[in-house]
Amino acid sequence: MTSIASTTAPAAEPAANARDLALAHYAARGVLEHVLARHGITFQQQVALRSALTAETPQTPDDLVARVRDSLKADPAGIRATLDELLARQLLDTDGPYLRPTDAGRELIAAVGAETAPVSARIWGGIPAADLTAAGRVLALVTERANAELAALTG
């Protein structure tokens, strides 16, 4: 009996595109927002609190608005409202002209990090380092280009 070898070439892997990037972002964000909801905090509140926590120098409200806006491209008035919410919940506190995370704010970010760490490990685990490196380069370039396009549109 003779067999016929397959002449069909393996299907090429699809190239990443904007839709793929968006789907990955919203899937990962959905996981994070699920955890954040258990702690009674929104995504934007978490970004603002983390920005205050990870800043190398003390941040004024204007500094934090700029940092969050750079990350989320959100409306400054909405970011200021978010900072007010964090102050009201005593997750941020004023220190002269600066806003600093409180112990409760630090504990909240640590708790969220501890909850998301095993999920992140399952999501990212097993992806070859070379693939992550290539993806990092591509995402950095896409971010740079998109930021330039946004600046051109709004500037």
Q: Reply yes or no on whether the pLDDT at 8 is more than 70.
A: no
Q: Are residues 69 and 44 in the same domain?
A: yes
19: in domain: no
pTM, two decimals, is 0.87
Q: Are residues 91 and 134 in the same domain?
A: no
pLDDT at 5: 57
The residue segments making up the domain with residue 142 are 126-155
- Angle made by CA atoms 143, 35, 116, in degrees to the nearest 5: 65
pLDDT-derived band at 72 (thresholds 50, 70, 90) equals very high
Q: Are residues 155 and 110 in the same domain?
A: no
Closest listed residue to residue 118, CA positions, set 30, 37, 35: 35
Share of the chain above pLDDT 70, in %: 94
Q: Are residues 100 and 151 in the same domain?
A: no
88: in domain: yes
Q: Are residues 63 and 92 in the same domain?
A: yes
Q: Are residues 119 and 138 in the same domain?
A: no
- Angle made by CA atoms 29, 35, 39, in degrees to the nearest 5: 130
26: in domain: no
pLDDT at 1: 55
Q: Reply yes or no on whether the pLDDT at 23 is more than 60.
A: yes
Number of domains in the chain: 2
72: in domain: yes
3: in domain: no
Q: Reply yes or no on whether the pLDDT at 10 is more than 70.
A: no
10: in domain: no
Q: Are residues 116 and 146 in the same domain?
A: no
pLDDT at 3: 56
Q: Tokens 């971010």 correspond to what residue?
A: 143
71: in domain: yes
Q: Are residues 63 and 137 in the same domain?
A: no
- Mean of the per-residue pLDDT values for the chain? 93
pLDDT at 94: 97
Coil, strand or helix at 14 = coil
